[in-house]
Chains A and B, each alone.
Chain A
Amino acid sequence: MMILGTLSQGPRHGYAIAKHIHDWSKGGLDIEDGSLYPALNRMLTKGWVRAEWGLTENKRKARFYRLTAAGRKQLEAESSAFNKMVRSIQLVMRTS
């Protein structure tokens, strides 16, 4: 979901996604960069993202990932499910 969220702001390459998540969570989520790729492969297989080779601002070759329509729908579904879950947890925490 975080990857989809990252990509919803525009196409990015793998390193940029990893960096974005890293910065975003303010270092709170410390994952290996490599573990990103199996997740990306799964999304490619499911058709949520599409990949194209391109050049970074530093003229490095990299693959850029772009969200597809299906991916966008998935993101909406997942984030609403996530929000619902967070709300329920908050509700439970407050009443106890």
Chain B
Amino acid sequence: MLWRNLLRRGRLDREWREEMDAHIQILTDSFVARGLTPRDARAAALKQAGNLVARREEIYSMNGIQWLDSISRDVRYALRGLRNQPSFTLIAVLTLALGIGANTAVFSVVNSVLLKPLPFPHSEQLVDLAQVAPGAGGLVGSRGLGLSTSMYFTYAEQNRSFQSMGVWISQHVTVTGQGEPEQVLANVVSDGLMQAFAVQPEIGRPFTASDQAPGASGTVLLTHGYWQRRFGGDQAVIGRKILVDSVPRQVVGVMPAGFRIADLPADLILPMQLDRRQAILAGFYLNAIARLKPGVSINQANADIGRLLPIWVRSWPDSPGGKVSGGGFVEQLFLKSWRIGPNIRPLRDSVVGNVSSALWVVMGTLAMVMLIACANVANLLLVRVDARRSELAVRAALGAGWLRIVRQLLMESLLLGAAGGALGLAIAYGGLRLLVRNGPSNLPRLSEIGLDSHALAFTAIVSIVSGLLFGLIPALRYAGPRVSLSLRDNSRTMSEGRDRHRARNTLVVLQVSLALVLLICSGLMIRTFQAMRGVRPGFERPDSVQTFRIVVPETLIPNDEQVTRIEQVIAEKVAAIPGVTSVGFASALPMDGVHPNWDGILKEGQSYAQGSRPPMRFYLNVSPGFFGSLGTRLKAGRDVSWTDIYGDRKVVLVSENLARELWGSAAAAVGQRVRANDGDVWREVVGVVEDVRHLGAQEPAPAVVYWPIYCRLTYRPIMVATRAAAFTVRTDRAGTGALLAEIRQAVGSVNAAIAVANPETLRETVDRSMARTSFTLVMLVVAGAMALVLGLIGIYGVIAYAVSQRTREIGIRIALGARAGDIRQMFVRYGLGLCGLGIAIGAGAAAILTRAMSSLLFGVAPLDPFTFAAVPLTLLLAALAATYLPARRVSAVDPVQCMRAE
């Protein structure tokens, strides 16, 4: 009621006026009826009615809210003030908009990636059931030790902590029978996994227990994206059959948009169909996800799994069809030597992974940029308020309370903050669109990033807080109880005291020191990036290596030797494409993040004590010519040949660091014999190749054993092909669409059911492995550049203002014989003094802060002397320019005119 009255106050007031007029009319009528002349009657009526205007005012204010009235007056006044100085307003709003926009954008990223719950019902109950095994060496990937099939059965059946749990893996499969064969990513899931997510299919049905039974007829769930892409969102897809790796599978349902198990969006979801009769202890390759029962903590769940581990090790055989050994050796190995233990963590943490440190660093730097922006605007406001001191003094003298004046000044800064916030929101929106389109593809949850209500609230808070922050400094400074003093001290006949400069000087020092911190951080990142680019990765000119993958499913070609021959033919056909110099293939490419194979290796004459295992080595299967196409140098011996491979000659290659470790030098390794375990045949080391940084440029090169692409297994006497092969094609045409079309044609001519997948240049693979560094780098450099520009504007502004305020003094000095150069020097010295102080403080702060980002650095110390010397020097030079420019104006001062102006 009150608010409604407030809004239609104008109309209500009009009505009252009409009513009161009517009252007078009627009263006049009645007096006329009593015999008075109309004039007398009207006078009498007015007398009897009393002061109607006062009554109306009383009603008017009754319908309003006092403070709101005066605030709206303040707002109007502030708006007028800002309009009168458009250049000041524009600069202030733009500065703020940049700061707020950058902060909002990064906050949205942090919010979407780190803070927002995963898009599943009660997602806080979902956990990544990971395990640690400190004694298992390289077998443990970045996600920890996976589960084996037998572990899944033990855990799923006997746990007391989970509502439901399941395991999954990702694999590439080829879909045929829908035009071009296509390689797509499939999530293969066990029973219990989809139940844990508690997400129902959009159409159709979920997997049932019978779909998951071994030997059940093939079924498949589509993801929303794949359904839209391949079937145009056709509802009739349910019940249709598609060929997955040449096996017909019936589509039973479509998952809703946004559903994804891992961070990579899969196209298909297949049932895992685990067979408990085949389950053995080992084979730790499964990822597991579980939903905790309400009220069960992660610690309790860890204890629960810890209780089940000894039960598991005594319940399953060591090999298929073998006896359950029940403790003894296997218990010794898995529980005592490997020390397998549970390491359950919230699913969100495992999805987000290691980007959080980078994101927090970026967020912190942009908060600093915001502070610098605030300091800049505060400085501008100080100048502005300074010019209005006499106005404020007059207002104070006329009886305005100092709180009232503070409010008036704050209103202006709040309005600036709000305008900056609104514009900043637009900047953030644009920036985020850009980021989602071009952002690092390995930034988790990239697709979920966007402005939401949290981000809007954040922007609002930042706008208001920054408005208060930079508004309070001038407000408290000039509207304090001493305000009346400034009337007296407003004479223009003297240069101002040091006191009045102090606030601005402090702000400039603060700006410079913050800018220095940011510049040092970005300097360190640039050095890191250089170090990473400068490292020889173990291959040459990755820009001219085209890579692609194929998979030859068992259902398409059962015979392993034939698979290898087909792969060889593909390599030869691709090598015949014009412009291609060499072609090779392997089970994995350097730095591509495919989960690698690890196992131990024994050299001749070496044996390991019962129950212990040799250290884990990286295993890779390679074709002849693979190293040639990569440009990896052969250090000793020779490459494997096709004759070695088809003739089942037992040969391997090793990396240089492994050769040094086992035999002392690369040359000494050639001719030596190794095997993977006591049951394995001996294999001869025929060559030693240069170290390759398989795990990324910032990780040391692992010790690698290179097995032939088609070779005898280490634990069973059968020959096995590499069915998922990654090809490397050395050509100057790498990355062109034309080359890719020719490759597709070449592969299709060998077998039409084999799809070419994941084509990219090796450079792209390398860049992807450095994406986190380059992302942090770009953000820091942007923040550093903004800080530098804002800081320089700050210095420039202060010096320019000082010059303009002291024009009279300069005039007098020149009149008394000072040379312009001396005066100029005085100002430059003043500016550099401020700057030097800022640099000293900033360097101290940076020395402490850079330690926090040491996890992001590579090949450069947090206290890198080069960065700590070059950056302050550069800043000092830039500051010199920023002070010299305004100081030059000193020469333009004409002492005569200056005196006359009085």
Contact = CB atoms under 8 A, between A and B. Distances in A.
Contact of B62 (A34, A38, A56, A58): A38
Contact of B15 (A32, A58, A60, A63): A63
A38 B22 contact: no
A73 interface: no
B29 A37 contact: no
A31 B829 CA distance: 79
A34 B26 contact: no
A58 B27 contact: no
A58 B29 contact: yes
Interface string B18-32: 111011011101100
A35 B20 CA distance: 11
A45 B62 CA distance: 10
Contacts of B25: 60
Given A32-B49, A33-B49, A45-B1, A38 B26 contact: no
Interface residues of B, number: 27
Contacts, number: 68
Interface in A1-21: 13-15, 18-19
Contacts of A63: 15, 19, 22
Contact of A37 (B20, B30, B48): B20
Given A14-B19, A14-B23, A34 B29 contact: no
A47 B26 contact: no
A32 B26 contact: no
A4 B333 CA distance: 95
B44 to A, nearest CB: 12
Nearest to B25: A60
A61 interface: yes
Contact of B58 (A13, A38, A62): A38
A42 interface: yes
A47 B2 CA distance: 12
Contacts of B20: 34, 37
B731 interface: no
A37 B19 CA distance: 9
A32 B47 CA distance: 9
A13 B23 CA distance: 9
A58 B5 CA distance: 31
Mostly, the A contact residues are: helix
Given A13-B22, A14-B19, A38-B59, A47 B1 contact: yes
Given A45-B5, A62-B19, A63-B19, A33 B26 contact: no
A33 B55 CA distance: 10
A41 interface: yes
A42 B16 CA distance: 13
A56 to B, nearest CB: 6
A62 B22 contact: yes
Interface in B44-97: 48-52, 54-56, 58-59, 62-63
Contacts of A19: 30
Interface in A36-74: 37-38, 41-42, 45, 47, 56, 58, 60-63
B26 A41 contact: no
B26 A60 contact: yes
Nearest to B55: A34
Contacts of B59: 37-38, 41
A15 B2 CA distance: 26
A19 B33 CA distance: 15
A45 B19 CA distance: 17
A41 B27 CA distance: 20
Contact of B55 (A13, A15, A18, A37): A37
Nearest to A22: B48
B55 A35 contact: yes
Contacts of B15: 63
A60 B50 CA distance: 21
Contacts of B22: 13-15, 60-63
A62 B56 CA distance: 17
A63 to B, nearest CB: 5
A61 B16 CA distance: 13
8 smallest CB-CB distances across A and B, nearest first, come from A32-B50, A34-B50, A15-B26, A34-B55, A33-B49, A41-B59, A62-B22, A63-B19
Interface of B: 1-2, 5, 15-16, 18-20, 22-23, 25-27, 29-30, 48-52, 54-56, 58-59, 62-63
Given A19-B30, A45-B5, 10 more contacts: A13-B23, A15-B22, A15-B26, A32-B49, A34-B52, A34-B54, A37-B16, A37-B55, A37-B56, A62-B22
Interface of A: 13-15, 18-19, 32-35, 37-38, 41-42, 45, 47, 56, 58, 60-63
18 contacts: A14-B23, A15-B22, A15-B27, A32-B49, A33-B23, A33-B27, A34-B50, A34-B51, A34-B55, A37-B55, A37-B59, A38-B58, A41-B16, A58-B29, A60-B26, A62-B23, A63-B15, A63-B19
